[in-house]
Chains A and B, each alone.
Chain A
Amino acid sequence: MASGRPVVGEKNRSTAIVPIRVPAEDADEPEDPRLSDVDEWGRSERTRALTRAIYEPIYSKWFRVEWEGLERIPTEGGALLVANHAGAIPSDAPVIMHGIEKELGRPVYGLADYFFRTVPVVGTLWARAGGVSARPANAYRLLKEQHQLALVFPEGTKGPSKSFTDRYQLRRFGRGGFVEIAMRAGVPVIPIAVIGSEEAMPVLLRVPTLAKALGLPYFPITANLLAFGPLGVVTPFPAKFKLRVLRPVHFDVPADQDRYSKSRIMEESEQIRSRLQEAVYDMLRDRRSVWFG
């Protein structure tokens, strides 16, 4: 040292706050203790690969899904996909999620009512297979921070619970929360019109008392139950699925605002709803057969 003094005292002491009782960790990094590949959303790529392999024949052989306008879905960056929702246990969600990943190689995060999480086994499998509960904070995180595709059904349970006599009549789009989230995250909304889901599992009757007793959002008696008995719960009819991706809606508002005009939100939401409704009618006009398209 220049001063010729030995280095002593407080200055040379380690300032690291390491409690006395803890022995020093080995210098080399120990191996990663993780055993599974479950990520912070509860997704597991292994489970997803398995469910996709199981679902593939249902997608291409049973429903014989046909897409239109897939090029409108961006290959990178966040986007909020919205679609009409139908059928007692709606097949539109897995069809869209599987289809986009198959065609574009991008995963889709399906947002579903948090009611799913309360159901044992189902909730866990749903999360492992890529489902996320539909909270605004979750959608924002997916779209804005992780630049992912998220899929939401703005009709909520009102879509699948409607009876067959009301088929292809889009319900109210909630309170327009999906528009607000897309504005806040600064991503486009991409509407997808789906036909085929209504006929895959038509709701003939609803039993509200039973739904209440079981704590379910709705309890449907489906045509599938009459046709296949208890197996009808998991067996949709092989209706031909057709999907049309509509022109993306960009909102020219700055992202991350504290509040957005409620009237603007409701207006945009209603506009998207009527475009979807019109597209659904248009596709139905072209459909010759429920089963063969």
Chain B
Amino acid sequence: MTRRVLVTGADTFWGGRMVQALENDPGMDMILGMGAHTPSVPFEKAEFVRADQTYSILNRIVKATQVDTILHTFMITNSTTVSSRAMHEINVIGTMNLLAAAGAAGSSVRHIVVKSSTLVYGSAASDPNTFHEDTPRTSPVKNGVERALVEAEGLVRDFSEDNPATRVTVLRFANVLGTHLTTPISRNLSRPLCPSIFGFDPLLQFVEEDDVVRALAHVTRGSIPGLYNVAGDGRLPWSEVASICGTRLVPLSPYSPLKIRPVARLFDLPPELADLLRYGRGVDTRRFAATGFTYNATSAGAVRTFIRALRLRRQSGRESTSYTYEHDVEQFFRHSPSVIGTNEP
């Protein structure tokens, strides 16, 4: 069977990583990256098409390219990267348009993979110790990113009920740490002082960056449908994460620290971290492990990978090499009759 995959958000961190990963998979015949901006990583054989963030042209692209799989990586799970309005547009409206295009009459799409987050469970005192995929939230949705993700997942759920012929996979990833990704948590951990909430030491679960890519590739390759939590084994108290990373905790007042804007600015404390730093979150990962996926890293391993990469960056003083997408150059490599060998970057 030939596999034709469309990756959304190919200009973003995760989309770029996924395109690269799928390019290394001999089972993929065609990979099409889609994004609003030019990609930040080199693509070897994947095509790139520029589209606005609400996927208004997706319908035409699906018809023209006859993709069978859509890998929807473009879901914002970090509210510091975009405005709340843009986040709603991307997560909810974007997903809605994407599903509409995928579900249109005569659509070639047979499998949709959605990258979601364990943020949908929230974080509250009333939470169970471990969330299973079917455990409902115990607290009302409090912040924009959780609301957007819960809404988007609702759309995906409706879609999968209305389109039983299409396989739908939703992966809920725990907080990611790794070599390259920058999140509010990683930024806090890379500074000498790191916020905590006085009297609270929550248990956190992490998933390593490469495991995120491997998990998405795993379900894409195997066309595995379902709803899964993806997180490394084990949990660590926040204080321990901080001491592994060699940063000192600064306890903030437990009574509404985030309402004091300058404090929230001083540290990276988006609203979705406020409750997480009190109550933490733990998820059950047995269902995903049962699909045959094995993790490279545990939660503690993810923290280690992160801090080792950070130490290297600090000591070598080098940022990862940047790449500039040149449309003409890429077109030349793909379509010029002069190109004979593989296009090694």
Contacts and interface: CB of A to CB of B under 8 A. Distances in A.
B243 A120 contact: no
Interface string B236-274: 110110011000000000100000000000000000000
Contacts of A205: none
Interface in A237-274: none
A17 interface: yes
Contacts of B300: 32-34
Interface in B193-231: 197-201, 203, 210, 213-214, 217-218, 221
Interface stretch (B16-24, B52-60, B96-104): B16-24
Given A33-B301, A40-B129, A19 B200 contact: no
Interface stretch (A133-141, A228-236, A279-287): A133-141
Contacts, number: 109
A104 B130 CA distance: 28
A38 B236 contact: yes
B240 A34 contact: yes
Interface residues of B, number: 48
Interface residues of A, number: 39
B200 A123 contact: yes
A20 B16 CA distance: 11
Q: DSSP majority for the A interface?
A: loop
B24 A120 contact: no
A18 B200 contact: no
A260 B129 CA distance: 24
Given A120-B198, A124-B199, A137-B135, A19 B128 contact: no
A121 interface: yes
- Name, among B129, B179, B236, B240, the residue most crowded by chain A CB atoms within 10 Å (CB to CB): B129
A114 B125 contact: yes
A15 interface: yes
Contacts of B115: none
A19 B282 CA distance: 28
Given A19-B21, A120-B200, A124-B199, A35 B217 contact: no
Contacts of B180: 21
Contacts of A292: none
A3 interface: no
Given A10-B26, A19-B213, A36 B237 contact: yes
A173 to B, nearest CB: 21
B108 to A, nearest CB: 24
Contacts of B243: 35
9 contacts: A13-B24, A17-B21, A17-B213, A25-B296, A36-B236, A38-B203, A42-B203, A117-B125, A141-B130
Interface of A: 10-11, 13-15, 17-22, 25, 30, 32-36, 38, 40-42, 114-115, 117-124, 132-133, 135-138, 141
Among all A-B residue pairs, the 4 with the closest Cβ atoms: A120-B199, A137-B128, A121-B199, A17-B217
Interface of B: 17, 20-22, 24-27, 41, 125-130, 132, 135, 179-180, 197-201, 203, 210, 213-214, 217-218, 221, 234-237, 239-240, 243-244, 254, 279, 282, 296, 300-301, 303-304, 320
